[in-house]
Amino acid sequence: MVDPPNRRAVEPDKTMFYVYVLKSEKDQKLYIGFSTDLRKRVEFHNLGLNNSTACRRPLKLIYYEGYIYEKDARIRERFLKSGRGHEVLYKQLEYTLEK
C-alpha cells in the first residue's frame, strides 16, 4: 500500500504523533498541544520551559491521542483548539474535569 500524499507514515519502531491535553493544577485551565515524544513534552511543560504554560504549573496530563500520520494529529489539534473542539473535549472529559 502506498502512503497518501503529504503524509508521513510510521515505520515499525518509528515516530508516533500525539495530541495531548494538560490541566493546570493552579488555575484548572487546559492546554492542548502536539508532540512526537509525549513523556518528554509533559516534563518540558512542568519544568517551566514552555512560555504558554510556565506560570500555570504544575500541569497534569489528562488526555492524549496517538496518530501514525502527522497531518492527522495536526488536524485534530487544530480542531480541539477551536470553539467546537472545546465543546467536544469538555463533553468527553466532563468527569475528569470535575476533579
Cα distance between residue 75 and residue 71, in whole Å? 6
- The reported pLDDT for the residue numbered 9 is 56
| Residue carrying C-alpha cell 469538555 | 90
**Which residues are 24's β-sheet partners?**
59
Low-confidence ranges of the chain (pLDDT < 50): 1
User: Which three three-digit cell numbers place residue 18?
Assistant: 500525539
Closest CA to 33 of 59, 11, 55: 59
- The reported pLDDT for the residue numbered 7 is 57
Closest CA to 92 of 32, 52, 24: 32
Cα distance between residue 63 and residue 23, in whole Å? 9
- The reported pLDDT for the residue numbered 59 is 97
Domains of the chain: 17-98 (3.40.1440.10)
User: Which three three-digit cell numbers place residue 51?
Assistant: 512560555
